[in-house]
Amino acid sequence: MKGLSPAVIHAIVVKAGFSGEAAITATAIVLAESGGRPNAIGDINNPGPGAKSVGLFQINYLPSRDSKASWRDPVANLDPLTNARNAYRISNHGTNFRPWTTFVAGIYKRFLATVRAAVPAPVVKPPPAPLPAPTAPPALSDADAQKVAALTLRIMRTLREIEEILKK
């Protein structure tokens, strides 16, 4: 089976949770690990019966160690999105790629330019426009100012009356 394109792999890793530079790195790791082939099976000569690495990220499975680790299930990891989601978990949400030998050895770097060329640059949104400066409230006419003053006095008298009632 021919490998998936870097753009398709990137879309899968983003859907799995990777973002930004981690998504670029994850895509390059996939190309280095499996050539972008979802059905890739590798490391079959690892010690231990049934040991193998599976799928896009070549997630390692060792039956004696991983029989209860669903994220390492070799059948489930043949699905590209499941494999990428499990890699996201193994990588501590895209913060640690050391579980992949192609990362540790730097082999993934050979694919970074290809990935960057295939993936559109992130859209940077301009900052929002600043809010307009506050304006002073409109000036009151003399007649309105007198009404406000009279109303304020009535409110103050009413409050005093209420205080007197509450004291009793």
pLDDT digits (tens, 9 = 90+) for 62-77: 776 777 777 788 888 9
Backbone angles phi, psi at 36, to 5 degrees: 80, 15
Q: What is the pLDDT of residue 33?
A: 96
Judge residue 135's burial from the number of C-beta atoms within 10 Å of its C-beta, 0-12 exposed, 13-18 middle, 19 or more buried.
exposed
CA distances from 54 to 25, 112, 154 (A): 19, 22, 82
Q: Which fold has domain 6-118?
A: Lysozyme (1.10.530)
Which residues of the chain form beta strands (DSSP E)? 41-42, 52-54, 59-61
- The mean pLDDT of 121-143, rounded to a whole number, is 79
* 108 pLDDT above the threshold of 80: yes
> Is the pTM above the cut of 0.95?
no
- The mean pLDDT of 27-39, rounded to a whole number, is 96
Name the residue ranges covered by the structural domains of the chain.
Answer: 6-118
Q: What is the pLDDT of residue 54?
A: 93
* 61 pLDDT above the threshold of 90: no
